[in-house]
Amino acid sequence: MKKDFDFSVVDSILKKYPAKELSTITILQDIQEYYHYLPEEIFPYVAKAINVGEARLYGVATFYENFSLDPKGKYVIRCCDGTACHVRGSLPILNRLRETLGLSEKKKTTDDLLFTVETVSCLGACGLAPVLTVNGTVYPAMTPEKALELLDELKAKEASENEQA
Amino acid sequence: MNKLKSREELTALRDVCQKAFAAEKKKILVCGGTGCVAGGSLDIFARLKQLLEDKNIPVDVELADEPHGDAVGMKKSGCHGFCEMGPLVRIEPQGWLYTKVKLDDCEEIIEKTIVGGEMIERLVYKQNGEVFPKQDEIPFYKKQTRVVLESCGHINASSIREYIALGGYSALEKCLFDITSEDILNEVTKSNLRGRGGGGFAAGKKWASCAAQKETPKYVVCNGDEGDPGAFMDRSIMEGDPHRLLEGMMIAGIAVGSSEGYIYVRAEYPLAVERLRTAIAQAEELGILGDNILGTDKSFHIHINRGAGAFVCGEGSALTASIEGKRGMPRVKPPRTVEHGLFEKPTNLNNVETYANVPMIITKGADWFRGIGPENSPGTKAFALTGTIQNTGLIEVPMGTTLREVIFDIGGGMRGGTKFKAVQIGGPSGGCLTEKDLDVPLDFDSLKSVGAMIGSGGLVVMDDKTCMVEVARFFMNFTQNESCGKCVPCREGTKRMLEILERITAGKGEDGDIELLEELADTISNTALCGLGKTAASPVVSTIKNFRSEYEAHIYDKRCPAGACSKLKRFVIDPEKCKGCSKCARNCPVNAISGQVRSPFKIDQDKCIKCGACVSNCAFGAVSEEA
């Protein structure tokens, strides 16, 4: 845990909601939206601010699928594995992505923190199955090949950004 | 805009809106549902608008106070339903539907269609050589009855003025000024509206029992946590016609005596959250929502809660716990949610589609509603039609329509000419229906009698290349992941069932596995705490019932009849075609292939890991999967 963690972002989020237990999920969602994960430093801080036990807060954070205690990659790729996507072949796409990035069910994020590959049970875009999203943008009617092309595009984009920087 | 302070002011505004709506003769409705947005519909909208402006043609995005006759209405509508053919663009007044529209088509649409009034044949829907320019004539739409989805795709989804122009909030008006809360309860009870979220509990009964509770405050909660994979009806309503949901909830509030409403929306539906937020802000601005609605003493506030990714939160008591900021775990019932719901107070909980039915029941009457569909399940039902079917999308049909009509008439039959095998209905809690069940009417009671349930309305169609044991494993994997862990039967039972199914699909099934699955299923459904657990085994039970031989083929013959289970694949080398080049042997990661150069090679099935590297490396097409 970092001693000098800057709580200014957390403070501004806390200010927006009533300091009560019922704000728990909303506050965690906002914090995660900013950091892309929940840094461990925030737990004692938020727990105290909304007057719930730290364990209870941790319980909520680990109960819900959307919260992550580990840093996520810059590009979060979510492969839909809902029923419709599943029967139209979403698994080969997921496997190919994981293979290419050296990831697995356990290891979800690349070491350079560039890519995270996760599954999601249904995005509700079943008409376009199989789909995946990159940071929330939906890519319809995917195939393993198209997924790799997308990955190359993202890598190229990243490389050109680095060049400019 | 000023707040409306009386009924008369709402009537006056409606008048203005209706005039403006009628004045917009030419209209371009670009689908702004999640599906079409993914296909690039927002760019198409922007381009079309730009092209009109470049030509100095006046454009109306929002209804104007002073209609000017020659403006072209440019609307981002809700989901048209025909997601397969997206992005969709509807042209009015002709009622043409342009499908699979690309950015490059925009210029032609403006030139030919809007300016010239000509239809572009290339963009309209065709089926078996027949051309269907008009949306209503396309077979996919023709057989539907759109009541709840009536305005989805026909109005600007982010405009309260368009909703009002089409008679929106007149049901609320009636409830505020003409009838008592007792009358509302009677009308909803008489309509026999049954909850669209799964169980089909009578809404009128629930409302009345919430109204009868003495404790205050009371809450009205809307379940928009549409978690069933393969279901997106509620999403489309929230995105495409959000005011209808708000109006339904407000009427429920008046009926049960509550002034606070909560909508719990899945985290995966960001667009729905955005549209609902806009709708709430618009209604508050007009004084239709908030304190002293339309100058009366009635107040109603609506809050939005975003889910955080837990399927179990679709269960009533888990959902209310989640709104309270706790872990979404179901609790023992009774007391029921109507007695002890949100914040331990009486709570009326219905799903999106149920509330969305209410305004129509109030304006058109219970008798009208009962005139649609069968006696014991009146009304319509929205279904999400997906899977290996020609026309995927969102449909709405009268209850009692048969599966055959839905799959073959509306859905257009199987995709790529494959053979129909089964349809999964009701998501992870439902069951698989087969060929013999195709004429079963889709209503609450008929489906229950064949071991399935309507659930929230996902219909996933599967062809003969789908392995039913794999499907059962898929659903069990889903439920196992989503089990909240509170009660033992669900937490441990689903895990054991999943292990068995994984074994079977990996070719390691044993004699007695089917019986063990059945026994576990029976125990779990009898002892689990909540609906998720009680129905967790349904997909397994129904696939065993309908496809027992497939289970047996996996267990005894180590064979997957559908050829879908990769671990049961067998790769063989055709000695006729093999030239003995040894490339496959060199590329095999586990050295399972051996042989003499220039004579046919062989695969050792015990070593083979079914990776398929040999198939893709053979230049002569000699390696293939054994049928």
Sequence-ordered list of residues with C-beta below 8 angstroms from that of A134, at least 6 positions apart, any chain: A75, A76, A77, A78, A150, A154
- Closest CB from B309, B458, B466 relative to A65: B309
ipTM of the complex: 0.88
Backbone angles phi, psi at B392, to 5 degrees: -80, 160
DSSP code per residue over B198-250: TT--BHHHHHHHHHT--SS--EEEEEE---STT--HHHHHHHH-HHHHHHHHH
Measured between beta carbons, which residues in chain A are less than 8 angstroms from residue B84?
127
Q: Could B38 and A125 be called an inter-chain contact, meaning their C-beta atoms sit closer than 8 Å?
A: yes
Give CA B347 to chain center in angstroms: 25
Indicate whether A38 and A115 sit together in one domain.
Answer: no
Q: What is the mean pLDDT of residues A125-152?
A: 88
Give CA B122 to chain center in angstroms: 30
Phi-psi region of B621 (alpha: psi -120 to 50; beta: other; left: phi over 0): left
Average pLDDT by stretches of 10, chain B with 627 residues: 90 94 91 87 95 92 79 92 89 94 95 94 91 93 93 92 96 97 97 90 96 96 89 91 97 97 92 95 96 96 94 93 95 92 96 96 97 94 90 92 94 90 89 93 90 84 92 93 94 96 94 97 95 92 95 94 86 92 90 92 88 86 83
Indicate whether A57 and A85 sit together in one domain.
Answer: no
Domain membership of residue A44 (yes or no) is yes
Domain membership of residue A3 (yes or no) is no
- For residue B445, the SS3 value is helix
Judge whether B185 and B211 are in contact, CB under 8 Å.
Answer: yes
- Cα gap B151→B239, rounded to integer Å: 11
Q: How far is CA B568 from CA B81, B107, B199, in A?
A: 38, 53, 38
- Closest CB from B230, B266, B475 relative to A84: B230
What is the least distance, in Å, from the CA of B369 to any CA of chain A?
Answer: 28
Q: Could A138 and B484 be called an inter-chain contact, meaning their C-beta atoms sit closer than 8 Å?
A: no
Domain membership of residue A70 (yes or no) is no
Nearest Cα residue in chain B from A30: B306
Indicate whether A59 and A80 sit together in one domain.
Answer: no
- Tell which of B80, B234, B238, B460 to mutate to test the A interface (max A CBs under 10 Å): B460
DSSP code per residue over B320-351: HHHHTTS-------SSPTTTS-GGGS-EEEEE
Q: How many CB pairs under 8 A join A and B?
A: 138
Q: Could B386 and A127 be called an inter-chain contact, meaning their C-beta atoms sit closer than 8 Å?
A: yes
> Which is nearest to B254 in space by CA: B344, B157, B146, B173?
B173
What is the least distance, in Å, from the CA of A67 to any CA of chain B?
Answer: 7
Gyration radius from chain B CA atoms: 27
- What is the torsion angle, in degrees rounded to the nearest 10, for the CA atoms of residue B463, residue B467, residue B468 and residue B469? -170
Q: Does B226 touch chain A if contact means CB atoms closer than 8 Å? A: yes
What is the least distance, in Å, from the CA of A2 to any CA of chain B?
Answer: 27
- Cα gap B303→B353, rounded to integer Å: 18
Indicate whether A92 and A155 sit together in one domain.
Answer: yes
- Cα gap B159→B227, rounded to integer Å: 27
Indicate whether A47 and A100 sit together in one domain.
Answer: no
Q: What's the pLDDT score for residue B627?
A: 59
Judge whether B288 and B279 are in contact, CB under 8 Å.
Answer: no
Q: What's the pLDDT score for residue A86?
A: 84
Domain membership of residue A126 (yes or no) is yes
Domain membership of residue A139 (yes or no) is yes
Domains of chain B, earliest start first: 8-142 (3.40.30.10), 168-370 (3.40.50.11540), 380-463 (3.10.20.600), 468-556 (1.20.1440.230), 569-625 (3.30.70.20)
Backbone angles phi, psi at A134, to 5 degrees: -120, 115
- Among residues A27, A42, A63, the one where a domain terminates is A63
Q: What's the pLDDT score for residue A2?
A: 73
- Closest CB from A81, A121, A127 relative to B35: A127
- Closest CB from A52, A67, A88 relative to B388: A88
Indicate whether A13 and A50 sit together in one domain.
Answer: yes
Q: Could A123 and B268 be called an inter-chain contact, meaning their C-beta atoms sit closer than 8 Å?
A: yes
Q: Could A140 and B35 be called an inter-chain contact, meaning their C-beta atoms sit closer than 8 Å?
A: yes
Q: Could A60 and B387 be called an inter-chain contact, meaning their C-beta atoms sit closer than 8 Å?
A: no
Nearest Cα residue in chain B from A57: B326
Domain membership of residue A18 (yes or no) is yes
Indicate whether A37 and A97 sit together in one domain.
Answer: no
Q: Could B34 and A125 be called an inter-chain contact, meaning their C-beta atoms sit closer than 8 Å?
A: yes
What is the least distance, in Å, from the CA of A160 to any CA of chain B?
Answer: 25
Q: What's the pLDDT score for residue A128?
A: 80
Domain membership of residue A79 (yes or no) is yes
Q: Could A84 and B484 be called an inter-chain contact, meaning their C-beta atoms sit closer than 8 Å?
A: no
Indicate whether A28 and A81 sit together in one domain.
Answer: no
Indicate whether A57 and A90 sit together in one domain.
Answer: no
What is the CATH classification number for the domain harbouring A146?
3.40.30.10
Domain membership of residue A69 (yes or no) is no
Indicate whether A103 and A144 sit together in one domain.
Answer: yes
> Looking at per-residue confidence, does A124 or B483 come out higher?
B483
Q: pLDDT by residue (tens digit) across B271-289?
A: 899 999 999 999 999 999 9
Q: pLDDT by residue (tens digit) across B18-68?
A: 999 998 889 999 999 888 888 889 999 999 999 999 999 999 888 888 777
**Structural domain tally of chain A?**
2
Indicate whether A114 and A46 sit together in one domain.
Answer: no
Name the pTM for this structure.
0.92
Indicate whether A93 and A160 sit together in one domain.
Answer: yes
Confidence band, pLDDT 50/70/90 cuts, at residue A140: confident
Q: What is the mean pLDDT of residues A13-41?
A: 95
- Closest CB from B38, B228, B311 relative to A128: B38
Q: Could B38 and A139 be called an inter-chain contact, meaning their C-beta atoms sit closer than 8 Å?
A: yes
Measured between beta carbons, which residues in chain B are less than 8 angstroms from residue A82?
229-230
Q: pLDDT by residue (tens digit) across B559-593?
A: 999 988 888 888 889 999 999 999 999 988 889 99
Q: Could B83 and A123 be called an inter-chain contact, meaning their C-beta atoms sit closer than 8 Å?
A: no
Range of the domain at A24: 8-63
- Closest CB from A29, A122, A124 relative to B308: A29
